[in-house]
Amino acid sequence: MIAKPYKGGAPAMSDVVAGHVPAIFSNLSDALPQAAAGNIRLIGVSSDKRAAQIPDVPTVVEQGYPTFKTMTWNGLMAPAGTPPQTIERVASEVERAAKDPAFAERLGRLGVDPLGNTPAEFAALIAADIPLWAEAVKIAGVKEQ
């Protein structure tokens, strides 16, 4: 089977719901409504622990793949040269929002776990992901165009 590239999660999910492809890795926020409607069956989560929103769905590790872990994240970026005090101010406000119980609960219903980490912690997260995805690109034989 040849992997089909998609321009986003929505077209990929549509093809799973329609039966054109058998499975996808999806963001929880995209998958939860489809699962609730009975359109798809959730078979695993790729994080290191079960998702609070779907505690009956096991992790991929629990299903026999002990080194498998990948997570989708979103973050804020600023242009190079942005003053450090501006970056710290924005990071502080994001952290404050992430700790707000009402905001965290609303995000949780969407399948999102707010983190609100520091710029240094976010940079470390990105740095840790680069070797993982570089290896995936190499194995897939992706070439620059």
pTM, rounded to two decimals: 0.72
> What residue spans define the domains of the chain?
73-145
Say what the pLDDT of residue 4 is.
56
| pLDDT tens figures, 101-128 | 999 999 888 888 888 889 999 999 999 9
3-class SS string, the chain: CCCCCCCCHHHHHHHHHCCCCCCCCCCHHHHHHHHHCCCCCCCCECCCCCCCCCCCCCECCCCCCCCCCCCCCCCCCCCCCCCHHHHHHHHHHHHHHHHCHHHHHHHHHCCCCCCCCCHHHHHHHHHHHHHHHHHHHHHHCCCCC
